[in-house]
Chains A and B, each alone.
Chain A
């Protein structure tokens, strides 16, 4: 028996919205500690990892670990039948469920849906706990804007960190550009820029993945970029009181 109730159903919709362009079919894992999801994008360049802790739910029960294979596209079709202010409950009775039930509750109506599940034998990747040599925390809408603007100049974006801060740069056919974001300790947490740089990094990434993933900025006003030289970068959106949504992106290596 599994039951998980989102107090804020809109949050669940934003999570699905953020990953729907990156992953197609995913295994949703549920156990006593909460719900998790890990899936590579179709080109196997990025890995999406979601972790939602049971304490963050209005109601949560999971007597036995469950794996529920679902199509994100079909999940979205069901979620489009819910309102952004609805409470959303996920439920299944069986130990080997073939469907996942959804209840959408608002003041004046209650809806019930069932999503057919599928069995996916997807390889799960072991993501080692890593001490990153550069960790940058900045406003998520600022990061989104920089990626979108520089992404118009070149499909690869360079990221260079130093004690002074973080620099994004592009060198394309039409020309080049760079944006240096300065550290600030403003008292407004959502506008703060913090850099912890033990070792500076200089890495290059395909910016299209950032632009696809940055829909997640609706989840959090801040984004955390964790980097080490020649390692995948992690973009993390903290989901207040619940957990986090992460994107691991492999770097581009100069030939």
Chain B
């Protein structure tokens, strides 16, 4: 399953 990048980096 492909993870999304935003699940690792919080939006600032």
Residues in A lying within 8 Å of B, measured CB to CB: 40, 44-47, 123-128, 206, 231-232, 248-255
23 A-B pairs with CB atoms under 8 Å apart are A44-B5, A44-B6, A45-B3, A45-B4, A47-B9, A123-B6, A126-B9, A126-B11, A127-B9, A128-B9, A231-B8, A232-B5, A232-B9, A248-B5, A248-B8, A250-B2, A250-B4, A250-B5, A252-B3, A253-B2, A253-B3, A254-B1, A255-B1
Query: Are A40 and B1 in contact, CB atoms less than 8 angstroms apart?
Result: no
C-alpha spacing A255/B6, complex, angstroms: 19
Closest chain B CB from A247 CB (angstroms): 10
For residue A123, which residues in chain B have a CB less than 8 angstroms away from its CB? 6, 11
Pairwise interchain contact A206-B2, C-beta atoms closer than 8 A: yes
How many CB-defined contacts (below 8 Å) exist between A and B?
Answer: 52
Interchain CB contact under 8 A, B12 and A250: no
Interface centre among A124, A125, A251, A253 (most CB of B within 10 A): A125
Interface size on B, residues (CB 8 A): 12
Chain A residue with Cβ nearest B11: A123
CB closest chain-A residue, reference B10: A126
The 7 closest A-B pairs by CB, nearest first: A126-B12, A125-B9, A250-B3, A123-B11, A250-B5, A47-B5, A44-B4
Interface of A is mostly: loop
Residues of B within 8 A of A127 (CB): 9
Chain B interface (Cβ within 8 Å of chain A)? 1-12
A46 pairs with B11, CB closer than 8 A: no
Which of B1, B2, B5, B6 counts the most chain A CB atoms within 10 A?
Answer: B5
Residue of B at shortest CB range from A41? B5
In the assembled complex, the CB of A56 is this many whole angstroms from the nearest CB of chain B, namely 25
Shortest CB-to-CB span from A250 to chain B, Å, is 4
Listed residue (B1, B4, B9, B11) with the most chain A CB atoms within 10 angstroms of its CB: B9
Contacting residues, chain B, for A231 (C-beta < 8 A): 8
Which B residue sits closest to A125, measured CB to CB? B9
Contacts of B5 in A (CB 8 A): 40, 44-47, 125, 232, 248-250
